[in-house]
Amino acid sequence: MSKVMKDGPKGPSARGGEHHWLQRWQAVRQPWWFDPYFAPLIAEALPHLAPCLESGGDLLHVGSGIGDKTDALRELGARAVGLELSPDLVARARDTYPTTRFVEGNALAMPFEDGTFDAVFSFSVMQCLDWRQMLTEVRRVLRPGGRAVFIENLAGSPFAQAYRLGKRLLRSPYRTHQRPLRHLAWEECPELLQVFPTVEYRAFHLFTPALLAPPVLARVFGGGEQIAVGGGPSFTSLTRLDTELLRRFPSLSDRAWKVVVRVTSSSTGRPEQDVVLGRRTSL
Ligand SMILES: C[S@@+](CC[C@H](N)C(=O)[O-])C[C@H]1O[C@@H](n2cnc3c(N)ncnc32)[C@H](O)[C@@H]1O
């Protein structure tokens, strides 16, 4: 299910070209265990960032972690910068990708001037912090008409909820840099309109996460090393089922695992309204 919400003029849309961008992404990335799950998310995200990638624009990757996605975005054409809170991860990313720029800093008070970037990308970061504050920072550092994509884990997926409960019961801590504070709820997505004039969001993966259960259980109880899920026939069939169900029954979106949110900032560079999310202030 895809929702397009507008509260003002919309910039040029870069829909389409999903296949082209996915192929390019896969060409620059090493395949790894999550890839079948990432593919539709990346295919949704990259066309929105295409104007920045194609023009060699400035792109900020917020919460860049080990740096692999920042480096991929640089290889796709952007002048990419990774922003990361953890000094250890920044050091590791610089070591692994010496030609990509990584900056140590806080997404809630970004160490960049207003209007520094043409695009912003973040993956599983809103769940780690006060995302309302992060969004106002994203808006500040974007140039007029700039674009951003946020890929997040939703709160309501029964599979993800079972996984999170299992981790709690087994007292299995997250790695420090992956520890979630609170997951985004599908119903909260329209709140982004308080910061950006155009917001599009789409849910992914309803039943496909079921395929992760056996390898996760094998790792927990059998000491298996890697959660490996190929993109085989079961995955393809379940993906088709998910897409059809989400199209026909949009209300199921709040049970999906992932959401891709695509936003465009104001073309005037001025905030649409003087708003602190959740607390509307008058102008
Ligand atoms: C779940 S991890 C995702 C990492 C990376 N985006 C990826 O997909 O591989 C969340 C990342 O956000 C970083 N992070 C959390 N809070 C942050 C903050 N306030 N400012 C900058 N980075 C932050 C974490 O250190 C971690 O690297």
Q: Whose CA is nearest to atom 4 of ligand 1?
A: 65
**Confidence band, pLDDT 50/70/90 cuts, at residue 33:** low
Q: Which residue has the higher pLDDT, 247 or 224?
A: 247
**73 CB less than 6 Å from ligand 1?**
no
Q: Which residue has the higher pLDDT, 185 or 170?
A: 185
**123 CB less than 6 Å from ligand 1?**
yes
Residue carrying structure tokens 């520890």: 179
Phi, psi of 63 (to 5 degrees): 70, 60
* Rounded CA separation 121/134 (Å): 12
Spell out where the chain has E strands: 2-6, 58-62, 79-84, 101-104, 117-123, 142-153, 198-204, 258-264, 275-276, 279-280
pLDDT digits (tens, 9 = 90+) for 81-126: 999 999 999 999 999 999 999 999 999 999 999 999 999 999 999 9
pLDDT at 277: 46
pLDDT digits (tens, 9 = 90+) for 121-148: 999 999 999 999 999 999 999 999 999 9
Q: Which residue has the higher pLDDT, 267 or 149?
A: 149
- Quick one: what percent of the chain has pLDDT higher than 90? 60
pLDDT at 10: 36
> Does the pLDDT at position 234 exceed 80?
yes
Q: Sheet holding 258-264: strands in order across?
A: 2-6, 198-204, 258-264, 142-153, 117-123, 58-62, 79-84, 101-104
- Contact criterion met (CB below 8 Å) for 62 and 107: yes
Strand (E) or helix (H) holding 237: helix 233-248
**Confidence band, pLDDT 50/70/90 cuts, at residue 49:** very high
- CATH dotted code for 2-157+174-205+253-268: 3.40.50.150
Nearest to 260 by CA among 38, 68, 96: 38
**Confidence band, pLDDT 50/70/90 cuts, at residue 19:** confident
**63 CB less than 6 Å from ligand 1?**
yes
Q: Whose CA is nearest to atom 25 of ligand 1?
A: 177
* Rounded CA separation 8/172 (Å): 45
**138 CB less than 6 Å from ligand 1?**
no
Start-to-end CA span in the chain (Å): 35
Domain positions in the chain are 2-157+174-205+253-268
pLDDT at 283: 26
**Confidence band, pLDDT 50/70/90 cuts, at residue 282:** very low
SS3 47: helix
